[in-house]
Amino acid sequence: MLFFNKNISPKDFFPANSVDMHSHILPGIDDGAKTIDDSILLIEQLSSFGITNFRVTPHVLGGVWENSSEIIKEKEALLRKELDARGMQHINLHAAAEYLMDSLFSKRLADDDILPLKDNYILVEMSFLNPPINLDEILFEIQLKGYRPVLAHPERYLFYHQDFSKYEKLIQAGCLLQLNLFSIANHYGKDVGKVAHQLLKKNMYTFVGTDIHKERHLPIIKQLATKNNKKLLTPLFENNSNTFSF
Ligand SMILES: [Fe+2]
């Protein structure tokens, strides 16, 4: 078994010029990178693994991280400038957001103040405690505005673990599901890892993102970079590239 699940270098794990479509690497804007040096360190490391395209997704969450689209764009411009100053022109950067589906999000949506991942794809999440009571209505509103909801880390919503039909319903309601890469290394617990593998087996995910916040997440990548996992994630890496390349 071990032979078949042998670790490989992260550079061999990720396809060349991979796209990360979920990350918290903009500086000083949420619980991710604190300083621009943190941002650069994360990008340098990830790009050494072959990830050179970043659709960065700071939290937008009412009462906690009420980042305006303007602030997110300012931080993007700041980081772009720093990357260029350091000769890192090969890094592609595009600022979007990870929207918690709360009343702040509904207001931004109504005001047409949304930063998509690309085209009409937007990244959304829900509370880890419970789904929004008006979830169906929100998903309907998103699509009425012409957007395609990409639901971040469905495997982390413990309240869905006992009823897989809930995941099917999310897909039927128009959601594309995004796996957090670290879930398959049990970073969020064994139950989350188990559900991630079940959803993978059922081909229910469309995309994969790192959702990286800090330096201490980097060793997890080395840990999960195996031949088996690479095979398992190949369709998702391909979807990432086909949909979110620059
Ligand atoms: Fe995230």
Q: Separation of 214 CA from ligand 1 center, angstroms?
A: 12
Q: What percent of the chain has pLDDT over 90?
A: 98
Torsions phi, psi of 30, nearest 5? Answer: -155, -150
The string of pLDDT tens digits covering residues 32-63 is 999 999 999 999 999 999 999 999 999 999 99
pLDDT reading at 172 higher than 50: yes
Q: Separation of 211 CA from ligand 1 center, angstroms?
A: 5
Q: Which two tokens stand for residue 110?
A: 């109504």
List of residues 6+ apart from 104 with CB closer than 8 A: 60, 61, 62, 63, 66
Q: Separation of 243 CA from ligand 1 center, angstroms?
A: 19
Q: What is the pLDDT of residue 1?
A: 45
Q: Separation of 210 CA from ligand 1 center, angstroms?
A: 8
The string of pLDDT tens digits covering residues 77-95 is 999 999 999 999 999 999 9
Q: Separation of 1 CA from ligand 1 center, angstroms?
A: 33
Q: What is the pLDDT of residue 5?
A: 73
Q: Separation of 3 CA from ligand 1 center, angstroms?
A: 33
Domain coordinates in residue numbering, the chain: 10-244
Amino acid identity of residue 178, one-letter, is Q
Q: Separation of 61 CA from ligand 1 center, angstroms?
A: 11
Q: What is the pLDDT of residue 235?
A: 97
Q: Separation of 213 CA from ligand 1 center, angstroms?
A: 8
Kindly write down the DSSP assignment for every residue of 49-109, as one continuous string: TTEEEEEE--EEBTTTB---HHHHHHHHHHHHHHHHHTT-TT-EEEE--EEESSHHHHHHH
Q: Separation of 90 CA from ligand 1 center, angstroms?
A: 24
Taking alpha carbons only, the member of 30, 42, 33 closest to residue 88 is 42
pLDDT reading at 67 higher than 60: yes
Q: Separation of 117 CA from ligand 1 center, angstroms?
A: 13
The string of pLDDT tens digits covering residues 179-231 is 999 999 999 999 999 999 999 999 999 999 999 999 999 999 999 999 999 99
The string of pLDDT tens digits covering residues 107-143 is 999 999 999 999 999 999 999 999 999 999 999 999 9
CATH superfamily of 10-244: Metal-dependent hydrolases (3.20.20.140)
